[in-house]
């Protein structure tokens, strides 16, 4: 049997298809049946045109269920396929909207758009990002569409101090459409990498403050511009960020009125404004990776800001930690760099670590903290030691001395409601 070529139809169209069979098959058209995407069609949609011709009529067609088309098939009574056709039912593309572009460190150009208010066309639709220098130059097509849907990336060969015209053209078998043309200068749409070297530390014994420092964008070090920074932070047990908008163009800030005895996660982002005198606002970078530190002291809830509100209260927790690490340095035979910072590092690793490590390299380890209930081993220093021995399941075990195999002393310290064992 045979059917006509694969048709392309508008949504809501009607279609009549005819299946013609060879007389050599010794079957009649009356015995045939039809399926659409594997589902048998009602008999009242068929019509026998002749002993060798059967037709089916479909009304008010919906958009194709798959990009490869809907399968309309003519079958013998035993299910054997005699002929088939792919139906492409959809709509022409609408005018692409919301075209925006940005350049990372002035070296490239990325653009994103939306396919129009209707969005779905139900058939294969091709989008091409086009760009050209405004007053001269040849029209070019963007070629890298490997990122997110409705985005394209131009990696190189872009001019600065000269505006570009950028637009998107959409087309399929039912029609075409083009977006509005936007005009941009690369210097006006610059974003950069997140600020590097973010460091969060305590401010002496002040319970309610943390100091945040970071580096300026290294990729823009040779450009004349003014950076603007934002900081956001949250407590360890919350997903809600507090944002500081007024960090200005400095590369440091002091968070104040924080909760004492609390671990905070901090991120920073940059907006490179005014590159070579650009009047545009610039585009914010992604946020930096989280950096964590804990405030000393007892719990006290406030809202943070970049203000300085000093306090001299020293918490019981900090005193215990000082005593603990001092005792470890005295007895650990080589754990010379044990400090209060290990507690902060442990809290960061505890939240980030996902995999189980049953043993560690003997020449790359100084101090280990093992969260047995989560089956994690966290490395926070460098020195020769052996693997951590299992202790009580409700404890965290810390092994500091490689020279003595058997436990000689047990020091248990309650830190922030968690019990540690220091084993020698």
Considering the domain architecture, whether residues 17 and 83 belong to the same structural domain is answered as: yes
Considering the domain architecture, whether residues 55 and 12 belong to the same structural domain is answered as: yes
Q: Return the half-sphere exposure (C-beta side, CA atoms, 13 A cut-off) of residue 223.
A: 23
Does residue 311 belong to any structural domain of this protein? no
Q: How far is CA 79 from CA 34, 35, 37, 75, 83, in A?
A: 10, 10, 14, 5, 12
Give per-residue pLDDT as tens, 32-87.
999 999 999 999 999 999 999 999 999 999 988 887 889 999 999 999 999 899 99
Strand order in the sheet with 396-399: 376-379, 368-371, 396-399, 418-423, 410-415
Considering the domain architecture, whether residues 177 and 86 belong to the same structural domain is answered as: no
What is the per-residue DSSP string for 2-38? B--PPPEEETT--EEEEEE--GGG---GGG-EEEETT
Tell me the CATH number at 133. Answer: 2.60.40.10
Number of structural domains (the chain) is 3
Query: Which pTM was predicted?
Result: 0.61
Does residue 378 belong to any structural domain of this protein? no
Does residue 392 belong to any structural domain of this protein? no
| pLDDT digits (tens), the chain, 424 positions | 556 568 899 999 999 999 998 888 888 899 999 999 999 999 999 999 999 999 999 999 998 888 788 999 999 999 999 989 999 999 999 999 999 999 998 889 999 999 987 778 899 999 999 999 998 878 999 999 988 899 999 998 888 888 999 999 999 999 999 999 999 999 889 899 999 999 999 999 899 999 999 998 888 777 767 788 999 999 988 999 999 987 878 899 999 999 999 999 999 999 888 777 777 878 999 999 999 999 997 544 444 444 444 444 445 555 556 666 665 555 544 444 455 555 555 555 555 543 333 333 333 333 333 333 333 333 333 333 334 333 333 333 343 434 433 333 333 333 332 333 333 2
Considering the domain architecture, whether residues 220 and 273 belong to the same structural domain is answered as: yes
- Pairwise CA distance, residues 106 & 184, whole Å: 13
Question: Which domain, by its residues, includes 117?
Answer: 97-188
Looking up tokens 């043309």 gives: 181
Does residue 146 belong to any structural domain of this protein? yes
Considering the domain architecture, whether residues 176 and 197 belong to the same structural domain is answered as: no
Does residue 407 belong to any structural domain of this protein? no
Instruction: Give the β-pairing of 126-133 and 199-202.
Output: unpaired
Beta bridge partners of 130: 141, 167
Cα of 9 vs its chain's centroid, Å? 38
State both tokens at 263: 């671990």
Across 134-273, the runs of DSSP E, i.e. the strands, are 140-141, 151-154, 164-172, 175-178, 182-184, 190-191, 199-202, 210-213, 226-235, 242-244, 252-255, 263-273
Considering the domain architecture, whether residues 199 and 245 belong to the same structural domain is answered as: yes
Quick one: which of 122, 120, 113 has its CA closest to 142?
Answer: 113
- Pairwise CA distance, residues 306 & 310, whole Å: 12
Considering the domain architecture, whether residues 118 and 64 belong to the same structural domain is answered as: no
Quick one: which of 99, 231, 220 has its CA closest to 160?
Answer: 220
321 φ/ψ angles, rounded to the nearest 5 degrees: -65, -45
Considering the domain architecture, whether residues 19 and 76 belong to the same structural domain is answered as: yes
Considering the domain architecture, whether residues 201 and 184 belong to the same structural domain is answered as: no
Does residue 154 belong to any structural domain of this protein? yes
Looking at 64, 90, 116, which one is the last position of a domain?
90
State both tokens at 249: 């163009």
Considering the domain architecture, whether residues 18 and 86 belong to the same structural domain is answered as: yes
Does residue 40 belong to any structural domain of this protein? yes
């Amino acid at each position: 049997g045979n059917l006509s070529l694969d048709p392309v139809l508008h949504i809501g169209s009607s279609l009549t298809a005819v299946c013609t069979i060879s007389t050599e098959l010794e079957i009649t058209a009356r015995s045939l049946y039809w399926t659409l995407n594997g589902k048998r069609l009602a008999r009242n949609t068929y019509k026998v045109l002749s002993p060798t011709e059967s037709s089916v009529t479909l009304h008010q067609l919906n958009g194709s269920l798959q990009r490869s088309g809907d399968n309309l098939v003519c079958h013998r009574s035993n299910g054997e396929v005699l002929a088939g056709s792919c139906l492409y039912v959809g709509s022409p593309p609408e005018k692409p909207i919301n075209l925006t572009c940005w350049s990372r460190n002035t070296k490239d150009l990325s653009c994103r758009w939306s396919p129009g208010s209707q969005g779905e066309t139900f058939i294969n639709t091709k989008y091409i990002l086009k760009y050209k220098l405004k007053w001269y130059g040849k029209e070019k097509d963007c070629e890298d569409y490997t990122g997110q849907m409705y985005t394209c990336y131009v990696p190189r060969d872009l001019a600065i101090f000269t505006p570009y015209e950028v637009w998107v053209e959409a087309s399929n078998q039912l029609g075409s459409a083009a977006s509005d043309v936007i005009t941009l200068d690369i210097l006006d749409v610059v974003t950069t990498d997140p600020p590097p070297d973010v460091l969060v530390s305590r401010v002496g014994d002040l319970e309610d403050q943390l100091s945040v420092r970071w580096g300026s964008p290294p990729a823009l070090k040779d450009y004349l511009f003014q950076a603007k920074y934002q900081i956001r932070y949250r407590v360890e047990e919350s997903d809600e960020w507090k944002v500081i908008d007024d960090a200005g163009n400095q590369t440091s800030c002091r968070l104040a009125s924080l909760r004492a005895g609390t671990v905070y996660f901090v991120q920073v982002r940059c907006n490179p404004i005014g590159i070579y005198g650009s009047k545009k606002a610039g585009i914010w970078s992604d946020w930096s990776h989280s950096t964590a530190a804990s405030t000393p002291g007892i719990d006290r809830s406030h809202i943070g800001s970049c203000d300085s509100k000093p306090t001299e209260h020293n918490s019981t927790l900090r005193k215990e930690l000082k005593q603990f690490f001092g005792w470890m340095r005295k007895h650990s035979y080589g754990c010379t760099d044990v400090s209060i910072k290990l507690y902060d590092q442990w809290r960061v690793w505890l939240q980030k670590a996902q995999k189980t490590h049953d043993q560690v390299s003997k020449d790359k380890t100084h101090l280990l903290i093992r969260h047995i209930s989560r089956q994690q081993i966290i490395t926070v220093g460098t020195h020769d030691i052996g693997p951590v021995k299992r202790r009580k399941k409700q404890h965290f075990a810390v092994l500091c001395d490689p020279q003595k195999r058997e436990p000689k002393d047990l020091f248990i310290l309650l830190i922030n409601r968690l019990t540690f064992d220091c084993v020698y």
